[in-house]
Amino acid sequence: MPVKERMSGNEAVATAMRQINPDVMGAFPITPSTEIPQYFSKYIADGKVDTEFVAVESEHSAMSTCIGASAAGARAITATSSAGLAFMWELLYVAASSRLPITMAVVNRALTGPININNDHSDSMGCRDSGWIQIYAENNQEVYDNYIQAMPISEYCRLPIMVCQDGFITSHAVENIELLDDEQVKAFVGEYAPENYLLKAENPLAVGPYGVSPYYMEIKKAQAEAMKAAKARILEVADAFAKLSGRKYGFFEEYRMEDAELATVVIGSSAGTGKAAVDQLRSRGIKAGLIKLRVFRPFPAEELAAALSQVKAAAVMDKCEGFSACGGPLFAETRSALYDLEKRPYAVNYVYGLGGRDVTTDTFEEIYGELQRIADTGDVGEVYRHIGVRDAEVQR
């Protein structure tokens, strides 16, 4: 039977880890993800799991531990944030190219500098092309549910996976959530039984060998094909999870999009604020809608384009800076997805919420007001925009 609980996003992730009982956890503390290994190490100390916890000297070593354990045939996990994720950078590519299904909880936090410990998506977006599946959560319930779905996706596709949530906003805030029964989770995730691994004496193999020119590109192509194929697996696992829990997930959530003329596209906890703004606008007769993207890698280009095909104007919101001089990463992907539509909506980008800057319903209402102006006049104006900046003057 499902259990109703109150817990933070970090505790929800640690609870899912306990229910799964992985083989190895390599972890190093960093705010705001520190609580995850802290909770989980207590489960180990209390005998609730038999996971081997490896307390390492850095995040680089944490990922090295996971790579070694996964290559040896173990189910390996870790958790990190911000500079910790950046310190793993080199090894993210090693894990992905070695096709090791490591599960990593990422509690999103701004990257230095200047030094900042609050939420934005610059850490996980910075490694978006490292070959990891990326799934994002709006609230504590979703991060728990996403974590349980992560391993059946990752292990089937033989790709590592990041389960992302917003630092402090969901990681530390306590919310009511519904937990699955321990045995339900164990049965859903199943046991990890890789076909090939280093400790399999019957079939000696190498993991992570030198990729000479005649083979390197084929390896990358295989990774790319696996990422494309992951879309079908994500939906398959979501369907199975819906039957178990009653909670339905897909690549994204469409909120009041059935007849929307104006839409925002957003990732993470800000979607809740955006939904409240949509409700306010709908009460005034404005046909506003919102799309909350859950899966960023693999990017659901065709599906997202179809969902936006009937709107007049859309604002794509990036909670990180791309420094491309053209906009943020979510905007680049979304605008590219819209390119092949016969009738494309006007599209603008808003960089927002950097370093924990507040995002309110007024922020969203301002964006929808600008979308209405664009839809009425056809004058897009500047495509690459920032919102919520305190000083109107650009600091050089």
Residue spans per domain, the chain: 3-245, 252-386
CATH topology classification for 252-386: Rossmann fold (3.40.50)
Segment 51-73 shows an average pLDDT of 98
Segment 63-76 shows an average pLDDT of 98
- pLDDT category of residue 391 using cuts at 50, 70 and 90: confident
Which 8-state DSSP code applies to residue 316? E
d(C-alpha 66, C-alpha 76), whole Å: 5
Residue-wise pLDDT tens digits, 262-276: 999 999 999 999 999
State yes or no: pLDDT of 394 exceeds 80.
no
State yes or no: pLDDT of 43 exceeds 60.
yes
Residue-wise pLDDT tens digits, 281-299: 999 999 999 999 999 999 9
Q: DSSP 3-state assignment of 207?
A: coil
Lowest mean pLDDT among 112-126, 193-207, 212-226: 193-207
Residue-wise pLDDT tens digits, 123-149: 999 999 999 999 999 999 999 999 999
Segment 374-393 shows an average pLDDT of 91
% of the chain beyond a pLDDT of 90: 95
pLDDT confidence of residue 19? 98
From the candidate CATH numbers 3.40.1180.10, 3.40.50.970, 3.40.630.10, 3.20.20.70, the one assigned to the domain spanning 3-245: 3.40.50.970
% of the chain beyond a pLDDT of 70: 98
d(C-alpha 269, C-alpha 120), whole Å: 10
d(C-alpha 395, C-alpha 390), whole Å: 11
92 within 8 A of 132, measured Cβ to Cβ: yes
Lowest mean pLDDT among 148-157, 160-169, 382-391: 382-391
Segment 178-207 shows an average pLDDT of 94
Lowest mean pLDDT among 34-48, 190-204, 252-266, 362-376: 190-204
Hey, what amino acid is at 272? G
Q: Which of 108, 117, 116, 50 is nearest to 79 (CA)?
A: 108
Residue-wise pLDDT tens digits, 246-263: 999 999 999 999 999 999
pLDDT confidence of residue 396? 46
- pLDDT category of residue 2 using cuts at 50, 70 and 90: confident
Residue-wise pLDDT tens digits, 333-382: 999 999 999 999 999 999 999 999 999 999 999 999 999 999 999 999 99
Which 8-state DSSP code applies to residue 237? H
Name every residue whose Cβ is closer than 8 Å to that of residue 66 and which is 6 or more positions away in sequence: 24, 26, 76, 77, 78, 95, 100, 102, 104
pLDDT confidence of residue 191? 95
pLDDT confidence of residue 113? 86
- pLDDT category of residue 209 using cuts at 50, 70 and 90: confident
Name every residue whose Cβ is closer than 8 Å to that of residue 127 and which is 6 or more positions away in sequence: 85, 89, 92
212: tokens are: 């000479």
- Let me know if the fold of 3-245 is the same as that of 252-386: yes
- pLDDT category of residue 54 using cuts at 50, 70 and 90: very high
DSSP letters, 175-205, are EEEEEPPHHHHHHHH-----S--TT-TTS--
Mean pLDDT (the chain, rounded): 96
